[in-house]
Chains A and B, each alone.
Chain A
Amino acid sequence: MRKFLVFLFLSSFPIFLVGSLMSGETQSSEGTVGIATCKACHPKYYESYAASIHSKKAIPDSPANKDGCESCHGPGAAHLEKMGSGGAGIFIFSKKLADAEQKSARCLSCHSETPRINFWDMGRHRAAGISCDNCHTVHSGTPKNLKARQPDLCFICHLSIRAQQNKQSHHPIKEGKVKCTDCHDSHGGFGTKMIAANSANELCYKCHAEKRGPFFWEHPPVEENCLTCHAPHGSNHSKLLIDKPPKLCQACHDAAGHPGTPYTSFETFRGSATGSKNRMFARGCLNCHSNIHGSMGPSTRGQTFVR
């Protein structure tokens, strides 16, 4: 396996080299009418363009250094000939007149060289028919030309995630302290669910470095995937858990003694049970097994995560 991967890695370089000799795409300026002509009929659009990053001549490849409005909308001569009605003869970023692929292609003709956008083809957004203009507006001076701030922008489509982050246990997303893009590559990448890491744990450890270990005693499902027990977008149960201890823990740990005991209303503070209540009330199993993410305790107590 290792030899195969080394071969694959080494063989990719000649492909890169050959590819680098291939020329990039070029744009034709034939049929353009100039930005002044556009401005004469569309002063408001011009103003918003002028306020945007696209109007900056200091950026070598910006539309301001190409054909202005026609860099994105295409040559305007035919548009003029058709008296400009309803976007005739020109490309406009409308749901009615262009599909997502066409619209994104316009943007990518310049932005495909932007490193973080380079993997757009791999992302779920493209596959779902999302185009750049779903999130960005070309005519704006907003940060990153976004149509709205996170997370509201993402919640326009991700209704289910909005509902989850409203739950009582959640990351501080709606409080503005964690952004969707802190965890996800909205422009596409290699991670599952477009996460900005090679594994879920690698992502979580960026903020939760204390869980990184390596620990003397490990809890294998924890080490393999944080999402085994946690729902990162929000949960009805504390600590973003998918279920409450002791039930969650018992789903894997059924053994003689307390792991298999049914903890019911009788084991709560108000219950009349004469034993085993401290495995149920308050934080349940975590009352004692608080080092559940890993322990450095060398004895059996570390092995059971109680030290």
Chain B
Amino acid sequence: MKIAIFILTAIVFISSPLCASAEEKKPEEGKTATGNVSVTGQYTDIDGNRAKFNEYRDNREGIGAYIGAEGRYETEEYYMHGEAGNIGYRDQQYRIEGGKWGRFGLDLYYDQIPHNFTEDAKTFYSKPGSNHLIYPTQPPSTNINTWNSFDYDVMRKKYGGGIKMEMLKPFFFNVSANRENRTGTYPFGAAGTTPGGIAIELPAPIDYTTDAVTFQAGYSKNPLLMSLSYFYSTFDNDNNNLYFRNPANAATAALTDALTLPPDNSYQKLDFKGALKLPMRTKFNVDLGVSQAKSDASLLASYVATGGATPITLSSSTFNGKMETKSYAFSLTSTPVSFMDGKIFYKYYDRDNRSDQITTTDAAATFTNPLFGYKKNKVGAELGFRLPSNFYLSGAYTYTHVNREREDIPKNDDYLYDLGLRWSGLSFMVARLGYERLNRRADFEGQDLGGAEPWIRRFDAATQTRDTFKALLDVFPVENLNFSLGYKYKHTDYEDTILGFQDMAGHEFNFDVDYLLAKRIRFYGNFDFERAVQQQFQRNLNLTTPVFDPAITTSTNYNWTADQTDKSYGFTVGADIYIVPKKWTLKLQHSYLKSNGDSDYTYLLDPVTLAGMAPGGRAQNNIDIENWDDYSLRYYLAKITYQPTDALSCAIGYAYEKYVYEDAQYDGYQYVPATTGTNGAYLTGAYRDPSYEAHIVFLNLSYKY
């Protein structure tokens, strides 16, 4: 916070109108001071979920005053810029930079980013957000009126600065450092017993500190650039475990269960970048990087189960995580003749997992943690041709080979083809067309694995064919009119997939317009539409007598599908009406955003078998979900601005915002639907009903100099 006060003091100094007026009285060659100070008085009335309304901001209910300032002071040799926003609020930010032109520069910043998830959540645990969650008597009360209230929110406070040195040109040197403190309470969860059992939502602590420092030194003078950088970062979590009393284990109520939290870690990276201009407008570029991430943690020696604390036998009680990556990239870009651009490149990325492998024996089994790593080789070429009549035709081909330490799909080969056509033959428009084809081939080895693995194709690596078409039109027929139209169609066919995502397709349409009419009214607007469909094919398997082959159907081993459709659209229409140019301006704006999702389920069973399934009453037409992340956001703004002088302006306005959210997973929310079994849960209200409605009246005074 001290850094924020320092930055604010400096900003106030350079944004001071006194400073400006002094300059006006005695102007000096090349000396300028500009800036503005803005004060907004605001009344906000929020009905509903304040956390969602303020997800990343701090608009407080009731009356508030919001101050922002920006200042620039420059001479022929030196400069200083500063800006501050929402001073004193949870989303306040400050930045100041200064230096000597062409010689050196310094910057300092302080930024707070709130992330509000849920306000007024409830839990029977005392001290929600601490690393030790307890409650007095077993079982916990199911009367939520007796529970503790708290907020789920996380605050990031990030501050840092840097120095850039250019005084020894062509040599340069940069150093920067920053720290981020992240604090708050976040919804975690745990299974009460496993497998099966209740779900427990836990208000977990966030007490993270991340430090980072970067050094960069290099040489840049045509035809050569060389740059070496070193990045070092540490992550420190004040809580490596979340201890909690587990309501699922009544016989061992006094025992403390534990959920592991992200471990402390460190990361460092050394990176060399170089570029060399060669004859024939050709350039050779290189990027060579090596990095290492490390973590360490003392492993828990037992876990809590129904029978009490169950010991775990470990081959080592300490886990040392170590990940090394190597990244090499080489590229040759060229424009050997005026009508042709070319590029060839090769990239190599290796994630080498050198963490400890520890053998664990618990009541369920003996196993060793596998180490996941992968290698990726990518090679490609791009060509572009300037054709007659202002056509530009481009084509690209990229081949990627991935080797990963994974049993089901250890290898992938990607063949990516890209074609583009641009036309700028008319002085008032540019048209672009693009087509991309990905053929991914997977080396599937799941047929040798047990269970349903021979039929599962995980979509991140499964064989697929993906087609993407794009079209974009920018039109600017007259000086004061611009509009853009965009369309994109993307279709992914997971052609070998039996269980998993089989098909994904989506259409997107975007439109944007801006028109200044007779220098008196500026109309602006946009419209976005998207329709996305996912088709999924899965198999229900009986727990005790599973029949894995999807070709066989029994009453408890059968296939099912889910077709999900998301339709979204949104628009903004607005006008800036210059009632008296440079004196009175009226701004009117309306935005609307709507998304409608549904999931169409089909049990691939005959009606008789389906009718016999528990719970009764299921049929093909009553299992679908109609509200699948449905939401709408409506926004209105009316603002009138009066500018008595070039420097001074005042504005008064009204804004209305209404957000409505409906989702099958949250409708009819219950904190304790049951206390045992697979319907059981102790929830806290995390993400429950984020709908809100807000009215905002504001008065703004702004002074510019």
Residue of B nearest to A296 (CB): B260
- The reply on A41 being an interface residue by CB < 8 A is no
- The reply on B683 being an interface residue by CB < 8 A is yes
Are A215 and B617 in touch, CB under 8 angstroms?
no
A211 partner residues in chain B, CB cutoff 8 A? 262
- The reply on B263 being an interface residue by CB < 8 A is yes
Give A195-212 interface residues, CB cut-off 8 Å to B: 198-199, 202, 205-206, 209-212
Stretch at the interface among A27-35, A67-75, A77-85, A261-269: A261-269
Stretch at the interface among B43-51, B367-375, B437-445, B637-645: B367-375
Given A22-B277, A205-B267, A247-B562: A300 touches B595 (CB 8 Å cut-off): no
Given A112-B222, A214-B295: A58 touches B367 (CB 8 Å cut-off): no
- The reply on A136 being an interface residue by CB < 8 A is no
Given A213-B295, A260-B540: A247 touches B267 (CB 8 Å cut-off): no
Are B275 and A168 in touch, CB under 8 angstroms?
no
B451 partner residues in chain A, CB cutoff 8 A? 255-256
B312 partner residues in chain A, CB cutoff 8 A? 298-299
Given A16-B276, A254-B538, A272-B615: A127 touches B341 (CB 8 Å cut-off): yes
Are A167 and B235 in touch, CB under 8 angstroms?
no
Given A141-B72, A168-B595, A216-B299: A278 touches B617 (CB 8 Å cut-off): no
Q: Which of A55, A281, A296 is within 8 Å of B299, CB to CB?
A: A296
Are B284 and A12 in touch, CB under 8 angstroms?
yes
Are B319 and A274 in touch, CB under 8 angstroms?
no
Give A165-200 interface residues, CB cut-off 8 Å to B: 166-168, 172, 175-177, 190, 198-199
State how many angstroms separate the Cβ of A166 from the closest Cβ of chain B. 6
State how many angstroms separate the Cβ of B508 from the closest Cβ of chain A. 6
Q: Which of A127, A172, A297 is within 8 Å of B260, CB to CB?
A: A297
Residue of B nearest to A253 (CB): B456
Give B321-359 interface residues, CB cut-off 8 Å to A: 321-323, 325, 327-331, 333, 335, 341, 343, 345, 347-349, 351, 353, 355, 358
State how many angstroms separate the Cβ of A246 from the closest Cβ of chain B. 9
Are B430 and A51 in touch, CB under 8 angstroms?
no
Give A287-304 interface residues, CB cut-off 8 Å to B: 287-291, 293-304
Q: Which of B261, B295, B500, B624 is within 8 Å of A251, CB to CB?
A: B500
Are B349 and A198 in touch, CB under 8 angstroms?
yes
Residue of A nearest to B400 (CB): A192
B233 partner residues in chain A, CB cutoff 8 A? 209
Are B595 and A236 in touch, CB under 8 angstroms?
yes
Give B366-417 interface residues, CB cut-off 8 Å to A: 367, 369-370, 372, 374, 382, 384, 390, 392, 394, 404, 406
Give B241-268 interface residues, CB cut-off 8 Å to A: 257-263, 265, 267
Are A160 and B508 in touch, CB under 8 angstroms?
yes
B328 partner residues in chain A, CB cutoff 8 A? 5, 8-9
A269 to B261 CA separation, bound complex (whole angstroms): 29
Are A257 and B195 in touch, CB under 8 angstroms?
yes
Given A238-B687, A278-B680, A302-B260: A113 touches B170 (CB 8 Å cut-off): yes
Q: Which of B274, B472, B603 is within 8 Å of A262, CB to CB?
A: B603
Given A159-B512, A255-B541, A282-B665: A264 touches B625 (CB 8 Å cut-off): yes
A153 to B238 CA separation, bound complex (whole angstroms): 40
Are A260 and B538 in touch, CB under 8 angstroms?
yes
State how many angstroms separate the Cβ of A55 from the closest Cβ of chain B. 8
Are A9 and B288 in touch, CB under 8 angstroms?
yes
- The reply on A273 being an interface residue by CB < 8 A is yes
B9 partner residues in chain A, CB cutoff 8 A? none
Are A270 and B668 in touch, CB under 8 angstroms?
yes
- The reply on A284 being an interface residue by CB < 8 A is yes
A238 to B666 CA separation, bound complex (whole angstroms): 12
Residue of B nearest to A270 (CB): B668
Are A252 and B459 in touch, CB under 8 angstroms?
yes
State how many angstroms separate the Cβ of B659 from the closest Cβ of chain A. 8
Are A167 and B341 in touch, CB under 8 angstroms?
no
Write the A1-30 contact mask toward B (1 if CB under 8 angstroms, else 0): 100010011001001100110101100000
Given A5-B348, A177-B111, A244-B628: A268 touches B667 (CB 8 Å cut-off): yes
Residue of A nearest to B281 (CB): A121
Are B221 and A273 in touch, CB under 8 angstroms?
no
Stretch at the interface among B98-106, B121-129, B582-590, B650-658: B98-106
A287 partner residues in chain B, CB cutoff 8 A? 189, 199, 201, 681, 683
A175 partner residues in chain B, CB cutoff 8 A? 56-57, 91
Are A299 and B303 in touch, CB under 8 angstroms?
yes
A282 to B190 CA separation, bound complex (whole angstroms): 14
Residue of A nearest to B367 (CB): A303
Write the B215-231 contact mask toward A (1 if CB under 8 angstroms, else 0): 00010111111110000
State how many angstroms separate the Cβ of A20 from the closest Cβ of chain B. 5
Give A233-250 interface residues, CB cut-off 8 Å to B: 236-238, 243-244, 247, 250
Are B679 and A275 in touch, CB under 8 angstroms?
yes
B538 partner residues in chain A, CB cutoff 8 A? 250-251, 254, 260, 262
Given A118-B225, A247-B599, A252-B456: A278 touches B564 (CB 8 Å cut-off): no
How many residue pairs link A and B with beta carbons under 8 A? The number is 445
Given A20-B224, A58-B100, A224-B460: A262 touches B560 (CB 8 Å cut-off): yes
Residue of B nearest to A241 (CB): B629
Q: Which of A16, A53, A115 is within 8 Å of B101, CB to CB?
A: A53
A8 to B345 CA separation, bound complex (whole angstroms): 13
A268 partner residues in chain B, CB cutoff 8 A? 625, 664-665, 667-668
Given A24-B222, A283-B189, A288-B189: A129 touches B424 (CB 8 Å cut-off): yes
Given A282-B681, A299-B360, A301-B194: A198 touches B321 (CB 8 Å cut-off): no
A217 to B617 CA separation, bound complex (whole angstroms): 41
B212 partner residues in chain A, CB cutoff 8 A? 206
B520 partner residues in chain A, CB cutoff 8 A? none
B512 partner residues in chain A, CB cutoff 8 A? 156, 159
Give B481-535 interface residues, CB cut-off 8 Å to A: 484, 486, 488, 499-501, 508, 510-512, 526, 528, 530, 534
Are B287 and A274 in touch, CB under 8 angstroms?
no
- The reply on B187 being an interface residue by CB < 8 A is yes
A138 to B348 CA separation, bound complex (whole angstroms): 39
Are A12 and B218 in touch, CB under 8 angstroms?
no
A279 partner residues in chain B, CB cutoff 8 A? 678
Stretch at the interface among B573-581, B669-677, B697-705: B669-677
Give A139-167 interface residues, CB cut-off 8 Å to B: 141, 143, 156-157, 159-160, 162-163, 166-167
Q: Which of A237, A262, A280 is within 8 Å of B629, CB to CB?
A: A237
State how many angstroms separate the Cβ of B698 from the closest Cβ of chain A. 17
- The reply on A42 being an interface residue by CB < 8 A is no
Q: Which of A22, A119, A163 is within 8 Å of B285, CB to CB?
A: A119
A213 to B371 CA separation, bound complex (whole angstroms): 13
A216 partner residues in chain B, CB cutoff 8 A? 297, 299, 319, 321, 355, 358, 369
Residue of A nearest to B321 (CB): A214
Are B262 and A210 in touch, CB under 8 angstroms?
yes
**26 CB-based A-B contacts, threshold 8 Å:** A5-B328, A19-B224, A20-B276, A22-B223, A58-B76, A122-B333, A122-B345, A128-B422, A159-B510, A159-B512, A168-B629, A190-B287, A209-B265, A212-B295, A237-B629, A252-B500, A257-B541, A260-B452, A262-B603, A269-B665, A270-B667, A273-B615, A275-B677, A287-B683, A288-B190, A307-B258
Which residues of A line the B interface, CB within 8 A? 1, 5, 8-9, 12, 15-16, 19-20, 22, 24-25, 51, 53, 55-62, 95-96, 99, 101, 112-115, 118-119, 121-122, 127-129, 141, 143, 156-157, 159-160, 162-163, 166-168, 172, 175-177, 190, 198-199, 202, 205-206, 209-218, 220-221, 223-225, 228, 236-238, 243-244, 247, 250-252, 254-258, 260-262, 264-266, 268-270, 272-284, 286-291, 293-304, 306-307
Q: A296-B261, A301-B303 are in contact. List 17 more A-B contacts (CB 8 A).
A: A1-B348, A9-B288, A96-B427, A118-B220, A190-B329, A190-B331, A236-B631, A237-B629, A247-B564, A252-B458, A254-B500, A262-B560, A264-B601, A269-B666, A298-B299, A298-B314, A298-B360
